[in-house]
């Protein structure tokens, strides 16, 4: 049975850079307040005419160029997002249309910040079984249009950015390389700790002026509980991935955690017993791009020469649901 290897990556963010000082002119906040609590200094927000699919298309084109491939070489799309362009259908089919693909299956994965690792697990299973050979795995988000950019919403509005990261995956017959294992978890007891209540068909009608007036269409987060659980469950998932493959923290060349909050990343690093040079951090530039954060970080890490053939890479993520996940990969 083949393993799944990363053939190429790509990413794209909007041109518009939003600094903490920019946000201080929209709401009661400051650069110091945001930086101390999150580590974020800038993020990218879309402008008119840009969508999640347009960001994903640009990222995909860059990955195809790196791989020396055509869009027609892809035989499946796994599109991870919690900010779809439309209520339905999923963004995957719109991306397929943008790429000129017909009859190519497209599936959307809605697991928020954990989405890319969940999507990787799905793609890995399909490639291992031979169902598909060239899978485009996408993480793309447009948060900015759904944020409450007032003081009322500052606890979440200052955190999120827009962007897209993709990976082209394929089979390798080398049993020592590729995706070794993935580990997925969920605990719905905490679903309302980080959620967007509407639009949704639990409401009748599923969207209304009243729901909008009450802010039900905005993200609501219990930041304290998110921090508390993420700081424990992410390093636990890292330990599980290492133990499943007979590895130790010393074997890890690079950990790419979901870029949610610098303090969470530091807690994960400390608990996992990793050095600074073993953990990739770019949240200061992009903010929290949920499903896009890991593939964007992976692309930058590769460009910086942080991974070489044979290195051990670990991914870990935590998001609303609560959901969390990890993956062990030998590059």
User: Which position has the token pair 């939003």?
Assistant: 18
Give the span between the Cα atoms of 118 and 120, in whole angstroms.
5
Residue 1's pLDDT is 85
321 in the same domain as 195:
yes
Residue 185's pLDDT is 98
Task: Render 13-31 in DSSP notation, one character per residue.
Answer: --S-EEEHHHHHTTSS--H
Tally of structural domains, the chain = 2
220 in the same domain as 155:
no
Give the span between the Cα atoms of 268 and 318, in whole angstroms.
11
Q: Which of 233, 222, 276 is nearest to 258 (CA)?
A: 233
Give the span between the Cα atoms of 77 and 52, in whole angstroms.
15
Beta strands 194-195 and 220-221: pairing type? antiparallel
At 129-188, the pLDDT tens digits run: 999 999 999 999 999 999 989 998 888 999 999 999 999 999 999 988 999 999 999 999
Task: Render 158-189 in DSSP notation, one character per residue.
Answer: TTB--EEEEEEEEEES-TTSEEEEEEEEE-GG
Sign of CA dihedral 183, 252, 135, 175: negative
Domain boundary among the residues 172, 200, 234 is at 172
Residue 331's pLDDT is 97
Residue 34's pLDDT is 96
161 in the same domain as 15:
yes
Task: Render 205-237 in DSSP notation, one character per residue.
Answer: SSS-HHHHHTTTTS-EE-HHHHHHHHHHHHHHH
138 in the same domain as 206:
no
310 in the same domain as 209:
yes
Residue 42's pLDDT is 98
Give the span between the Cα atoms of 288 and 281, in whole angstroms.
11
Give the span between the Cα atoms of 274 and 284, in whole angstroms.
20
164 in the same domain as 195:
no
Residue 108's pLDDT is 98
229 in the same domain as 138:
no
pTM for the model stands at 0.96
Domain boundary among the residues 172, 197, 222 is at 172
Beta partners for residue 172, in sequence order: 3
**Containing structural domain, residue 85:** 3-172
Give the span between the Cα atoms of 316 and 268, in whole angstroms.
10
Domain boundary among the residues 140, 172, 204 is at 172
46 in the same domain as 8:
yes
52-67 vs 91-98: helix crossing angle, rounded to 10 = 50
Residue 195's pLDDT is 83
| CA distance from start to end of the chain | 18
Give the span between the Cα atoms of 12 and 81, in whole angstroms.
15
161 in the same domain as 77:
yes
326 in the same domain as 188:
yes
8 Å CB contact between 117 and 182 = yes
Q: Which of 45, 6, 9 is nearest to 26 (CA)?
A: 45
89 in the same domain as 231:
no
Task: Output the domain CATH number for residue 196.
Answer: 3.40.47.10
Q: 130 is written with which tokens?
A: 């031979």
223-244 vs 262-272: helix crossing angle, rounded to 10 = 40
Residue 216's pLDDT is 86
Catalytic residues: 113, 258, 288
Phi and psi (nearest 5°) for 94?
-70, -35
Give the span between the Cα atoms of 185 and 97, in whole angstroms.
32
140 in the same domain as 86:
yes
Per-residue pLDDT of the chain (331 residues; tens, 9 = 90+): 899 999 999 999 999 999 999 999 999 999 999 999 999 999 999 999 999 999 999 999 999 999 999 999 999 999 999 999 999 999 999 999 999 999 999 999 999 999 999 999 999 999 999 999 999 999 999 999 999 899 988 889 999 999 999 999 999 999 889 999 999 999 999 989 988 888 988 888 988 899 888 888 888 888 889 999 999 999 999 999 999 999 999 999 999 999 999 999 999 999 999 999 999 999 999 999 999 999 999 999 999 999 999 999 999 999 999 999 999 999 9
């Amino acid at each position: 049975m083949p393993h799944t290897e990363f053939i190429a990556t790509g990413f794209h963010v909007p041109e518009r850079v939003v600094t903490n000082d920019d946000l201080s002119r929209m709401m009661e906040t400051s650069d110091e307040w945001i930086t101390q609590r999150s580590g974020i200094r800038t993020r990218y927000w879309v402008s008119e005419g840009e969508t999640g699919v347009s960001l994903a298309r640009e990222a995909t084109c860059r990955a195809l160029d790196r791989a020396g491939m055509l869009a027609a070489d892809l035989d499946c799309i796994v599109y991870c997002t919690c900010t779809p362009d439309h209520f339905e259908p999923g963004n995957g089919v719109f991306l397929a249309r943008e790429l000129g693909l017909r009859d190519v299956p497209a599936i959307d994965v809605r697991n928020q910040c954990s989405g890319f690792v969940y999507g990787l697990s799905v793609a890995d299973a399909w490639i291992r079984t031979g169902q598909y050979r060239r899978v485009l795995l996408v993480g793309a988000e447009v948060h900015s249009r759904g944020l409450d950019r007032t003081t009322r919403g500052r606890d979440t509005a200052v955190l999120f950015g827009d962007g897209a990261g993709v990976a082209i995956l394929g089979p390798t017959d080398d049993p020592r390389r590729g995706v070794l294992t993935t580990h997925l978890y969920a605990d719905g007891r905490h679903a309302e700790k980080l959620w967007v209540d509407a639009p949704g068909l639990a409401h009748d009608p599923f969207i209304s002026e009243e729901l909008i007036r009450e802010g039900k269409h905005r993200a609501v987060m219990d930041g304290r509980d998110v921090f508390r659980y993420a700081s424990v469950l992410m390093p636990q998932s890292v330990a599980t991935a290492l133990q499943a493959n007979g590895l130790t923290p010393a074997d890890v060349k690079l950990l790419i955690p979901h870029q949610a909050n610098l303090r969470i990343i530091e807690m994960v690093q400390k608990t996992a017993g990793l050095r600074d040079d073993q953990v990739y951090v770019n949240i200061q530039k992009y903010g929290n791009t949920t499903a896009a954060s890991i593939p964007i970080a992976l692309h930058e890490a590769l460009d910086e020469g942080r991974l070489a053939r044979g290195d051990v890479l670990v991914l870990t993520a935590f998001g609303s649901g609560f959901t969390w996940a990890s993956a062990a990969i030998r590059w």
